[in-house]
């Protein structure tokens, strides 16, 4: 049987109200008592109900956000957008980094590491469709990303395939025909991964344009880092593979590719047009500025927070899970030949 608030109060030698005050971060509790109660909570493994934080209000005013890595620009900027969206509702955000580790992701859902929150926004990197049952009974929660579809929770995601197709079509519209792809997955087993969904859009665009594909133009494997983008371009050049455009599956890859292109003496966009994905702030400061797919990060954050608040306040029978896909756009900048005067991120 799971420990209760009564068990915590008894073991700590305090009242139930005191335990509640500690759980809800009430400043009236003295530091020594607060520390003792926290130690008992940890020792007993007490886990307050996710949807019933305070004894009186039932809410803590805090929501959780679990992401793979804050070192990745997209997730750092997503966290910023979530914090801003939550602030409009007088909510604070507790951020948990999972390091893209399967066990940490499962621990977030089944353990007590995200305690003291009213609801959770969860962006997994490793658990997938086979783990859909793990989400059952965990609420309120809103799923982000592309790892699980058709699960028991609300889900906010992006148009990965159609936006990647549009990115490739943008390069085709410029007259480019040798379009390289950097960041493709080396495993076709996970069809729902961002890499495979975006690669699908790339292939669709080439097929519809009647372009014969060259598998040598696709770089597989490696993390979505600057180093992978850099190494991808170096691979093409050292092996004499001709290319006149690059679609990098995220902006971090694109920035690494841009560095390698400049170092090799290739002009962007005159010799090689370049497009990324995510529209991170850094892309508007690069030289040249980076054309990118904006997957609707602000919409994703605001929609996810709104859905989570609805679930937190939901009474009675739970309504059916909802899936929302944010609108995307192609942000055309200098790396594909479009002059820009909007240096810096949007305000």
Summarize pLDDT for 152-166 with one digit per residue, the tens: 899 999 999 999 999
Number of H helices, E strands in the chain: 10, 12
Same domain, residue pair 120 and 148: yes
Mean pLDDT of 188-197: 82
- Give the pLDDT of residue 347: 40
Confidence band for 342, pLDDT divided at 50, 70 and 90: low
By the 8 A CB rule, do 234 and 266 touch?
no
Residue 301 lies inside a defined structural domain of this protein = yes
Residue 345 lies inside a defined structural domain of this protein = no
Helix residue ranges, H only, the chain? 5-12, 16-23, 31-44, 73-87, 102-110, 160-173, 194-208, 226-238, 251-263, 297-313
For residue 137, pLDDT beyond 80: no
Greatest CA separation for the chain: 75
Residue 342 lies inside a defined structural domain of this protein = no
Same domain, residue pair 227 and 266: yes
Residue 320 lies inside a defined structural domain of this protein = no
For residue 254, pLDDT beyond 90: yes
**Lowest model confidence (mean pLDDT) among 52-61, 77-86, 108-117:** 52-61
Q: Which of 61-70, 137-146, 268-277 has the highest mean pLDDT?
A: 268-277
Please name which of 254, 260, 246, 248 lies closest in space to residue 283, comparing C-alpha atoms: 254
- Count of structural domains, the chain: 2
Same domain, residue pair 249 and 306: no
Supply the DSSP symbol for 327: -
Residue 208 lies inside a defined structural domain of this protein = yes
Residue 39 lies inside a defined structural domain of this protein = no
Same domain, residue pair 266 and 142: no
Mean pLDDT of 139-145: 91
Same domain, residue pair 171 and 145: no
Same domain, residue pair 68 and 147: yes
Residue 35 lies inside a defined structural domain of this protein = no
Q: Edge-to-edge strands of the sheet including 179-184?
A: 218-220, 179-184, 245-248, 273-277, 291-294, 329-331
**Lowest model confidence (mean pLDDT) among 28-42, 207-221, 228-242, 322-336:** 28-42
Supply the DSSP symbol for 140: S
Summarize pLDDT for 11-41 with one digit per residue, the tens: 999 998 898 888 766 778 888 898 899 889 8
Same domain, residue pair 139 and 210: no
Confidence band for 341, pLDDT divided at 50, 70 and 90: low
Tell me the C-alpha distance between 131 and 102, whole Å: 10
Confidence band for 265, pLDDT divided at 50, 70 and 90: very high
Name the residue with higher pLDDT: 98 or 139: 98
Confidence band for 63, pLDDT divided at 50, 70 and 90: very high
Please name which of 86, 97, 28 lies closest in space to residue 62, comparing C-alpha atoms: 86
- Give the pLDDT of residue 57: 54
Same domain, residue pair 144 and 169: no
Find all residues with CB under 8 Å of 242, minimum gap 6, and list them.
178
Same domain, residue pair 167 and 288: yes
What residue numbers bound the domain in which 85 lies?
62-158+297-314
Same domain, residue pair 172 and 227: yes
Find all residues with CB under 8 Å of 273, minimum gap 6, and list them.
171, 174, 176, 244, 245, 246, 291, 335, 336, 337
Tell me the C-alpha distance between 68 and 310, whole Å: 25
The CATH number for 215's domain is: 3.40.50.2300
Name the residue with higher pLDDT: 58 or 51: 58
- Written as six digits, the tokens of 297 are 């990060």
Residue 14 lies inside a defined structural domain of this protein = no
Summarize pLDDT for 171-188 with one digit per residue, the tens: 999 999 999 999 999 987
- Give the pLDDT of residue 25: 67
In the chain, % of residues over pLDDT 90: 67
Q: Which residues sit opposite 326 in a β-bridge?
A: 158
Tell me the C-alpha distance between 15 and 258, whole Å: 62
Whether a cis peptide bond, with omega within 30° of 0, leads into 269 is yes
Number of other residues whose CB lies within 10 A of the CB of residue 67: 25
């Amino acid at each position: 049987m799971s420990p209760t608030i009564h068990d915590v109060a008894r073991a700590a030698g305090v009242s139930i109200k005191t335990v509640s005050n500690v759980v809800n971060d009430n400043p009236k509790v003295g530091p020594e008592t607060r520390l003792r109660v926290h130690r008992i909570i940890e020792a007993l493994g007490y886990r307050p109900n996710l949807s019933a934080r305070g004894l009186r209000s039932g809410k803590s005013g805090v929501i959780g956000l679990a992401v793979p890595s804050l070192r990745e620009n997209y997730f750092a900027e997503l966290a910023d957008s979530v914090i801003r969206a939550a602030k409009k509702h007088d909510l604070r955000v507790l951020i948990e980094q999972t390091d893209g580790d399967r066990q940490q992701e499962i621990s977030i859902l089944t353990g007590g590491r995200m305690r003291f929150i009213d609801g959770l926004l969860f962006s997994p990197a490793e658990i997938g469709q086979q783990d859909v049952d793990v989400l059952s009974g965990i609420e309120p929660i809103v799923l982000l990303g592309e790892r699980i579809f058709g699960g028991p929770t609300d889900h906010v995601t992006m148009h990965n395939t159609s936006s990647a197709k549009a990115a490739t079509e943008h390069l085709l519209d410029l007259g480019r025909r040798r379009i390289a792809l950097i960041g493709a997955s080396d495993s076709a087993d996970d069809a729902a991964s961002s890499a495979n969904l975006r690669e699908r859009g790339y292939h669709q665009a080439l097929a519809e344009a009647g372009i014969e594909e060259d598998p040598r133009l696709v770089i597989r494997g490696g993390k979505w880092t600057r180093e992978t983008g850099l190494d991808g371009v170096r691979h093409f050049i050292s092996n004499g593979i001709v290319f006149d455009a690059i679609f990098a599956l995220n902006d971090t890859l694109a920035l690494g590719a841009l560095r390698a292109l400049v170092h090799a003496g290739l002009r962007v966009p005159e010799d090689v047009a370049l497009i990324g994905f995510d529209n991170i702030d850094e892309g508007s400061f690069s030289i040249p500025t980076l054309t990118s797919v904006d997957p609707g990060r602000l919409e994703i954050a605001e929609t996810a927070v709104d859905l989570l608040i609805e679930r937190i306040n939901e009474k009675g029978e739970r309504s059916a899970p909802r899936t929302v896909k944010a609108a995307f756009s192609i942000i055309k900048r200098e790396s594909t030949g479009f002059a820009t005067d909007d240096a810096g991120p949007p305000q």
